[in-house]
Structure 1
């Protein structure tokens, strides 16, 4: 039985005031049937972890990780550093990293391995652009992105989460219809099953990301192969984020 997950990605937003608000809102969260993760910008990882009670089930994650473990890589953050600051998860391969920083499928696979070496759970993002969807290339694009991770083997894939984020629905207010989201998640799960077996596929948590809000979360999460969400803008609103967590419990 896959456990639902709701992970908030603040992107380059937030403040110490927001850290305090979110920490207070989540401090008494009682949702043992949902994995709840918050991924703030790097400077706020430590403050958020310290704001949450030591017994809090809420996890803190990074938004990226270096493929290197240490060294002369100015501006990079190692997985061991995130772990030392209390992170349990890290987002890898977000579409903004792919588009704005030229991250390739091969580099993302290296980052997945670096995250696992540090004991972090990678949340690996995949997704197609509007142009690729309109050209009927969704499965081809996603297949290549997913295959780069599947090539690492079942031992790796069993330890990660995959988030489907259609690029055309990120921050645009547009959301994939539930049937669209389900079709893609079903495709990804079938791809994993074909490569690594049905047991790995059925245990793999698949998230949907792309303008998820309290108003549409329950409908999206009700899809058979959608196990929760990677939440962007709504994660900056503690009340909205808690509503989405509640939707994952129904």
Structure 2
């Protein structure tokens, strides 16, 4: 809820312009990346239209996604957002279980898992946010107990990692810590039994230029927050990830 509808429209327009200014060689590389934006629900269909405008389409594929969805497709659930309707309008990815959803609305691992399953059955990519609630005694050792890491038994193609204890903190999690947590997630049985490469792990939080090179041995990408409110910084980070 940082952007107005008008600001979202301007943001996407600026993003497309910045990407179109890249060299043909760079655009070829970006074709192999998954770039996504997650606007608010009211702006989502407009963003989808911008990204697929036949007169000025995006020079590279960009997935439009939602910030949440309900775990049922239809019914007496006033105020909720149907994953089936999201898929119908062209949404491709949906963020689930964000720390704010958990803290402000009491969403649990069980609720998040049901939402992820609903997203998957509707052909959406579930981007499931997981994170430890408490800082471990030794920073480079992840506290990967069942009570600290989301139960990922549902089909979860994407996982976003953010240590909750580091949100807004002066000292974010170290690169070595993030890599250790990512490796612990990959060792979970529910992840290991999936086809190789089908579960991708993104790091979110204090993410920006220069970070991915430190994390690339553990994670597959970044999830940018307020840092990406500046489309130039967003593109800069995209290009750095492509180069890495």
TM-score norm. by structure 2 comes to: 0.83
Q: Could you tell me whether the CA contact under 8 Å between 1:167 and 1:210 is conserved in 2?
A: no
1:20 aligns with 2:17: no
Higher relative contact order by CA 8 Å / sep ≥ 6: 1 or 2? 1
In the alignment, is residue 241 of structure 1 matched against residue 234 of structure 2?
A: yes
CA–CA separation in structure 1 for the residues paired with 2:170 and 2:52? 34
Select which of 68, 73, 89 maps to 1:69. Answer: 73
1:139 aligns with 2:128: no
Matches of 1:124 and 1:161, distance apart in 2: 6
Going from structure 1 to structure 2, the CA distance change for 1:236 and 1:66 (only over 3 Å counts) comes to: same
Equivalent residue runs for 1:110-125 within 5 Å: 110-125=114-129
C-alpha distance in 1, partners of 2:126/2:144? 22
Tell me how far apart the structure 2 counterparts of residues 171 and 73 of structure 1 sit (CA, whole Å).
33
1:233/1:220 CA distance change after superposition, 3 Å: farther
- Kindly provide the CA deviation profile for residues 178-228 of structure 1, in whole angstroms up to 9, marking residues without a partner as x: 11111110111112xx345366354421000111122x333344x312111
Q: Give 3-state SS (helix, strand or coil) of 1:27's partner.
A: helix
Q: Which structure 2 segments of 5+ residues have no match?
A: 20-26
The structure with more radius of gyration: 2
User: Deviations 1:130-155 (Å, cap 9, x if unpaired)?
Assistant: x343498721157641xx222x3xxx
Q: Per residue, is there more helix in 1 or in 2? A: 1
DSSP-derived class of the 2:94 partner = strand
SS at match of 1:139: coil
Other-structure match for 2:152: 149
Unpaired runs of 5+ in structure 1? 1-11
The residue that corresponds to 1:36 in the other structure is: 35
Equivalent runs, 1:75-94 vs 2, <5 Å: 75-94=79-98
- The total of aligned residue pairs comes to 226
Cα offset, 1:27, TM superposition: 2.2
Q: 1:174 to 1:132 in 2, by over 3 A?
A: closer
**TM-score, normalised with respect to structure 1:** 0.81
| Counterpart among 184, 187, 190 of residue 187 in structure 2 | 190
Task: Verify the 8 A CA contact 1:189 1:201 in the aligned structure 2.
Answer: no
Match of 2:204 in 1: 209
Tell me: CA distance 1:196–1:89, structure 2 relative to 1, closer, same or farther (3 Å). Answer: closer
SS in 2 for 1:74: coil
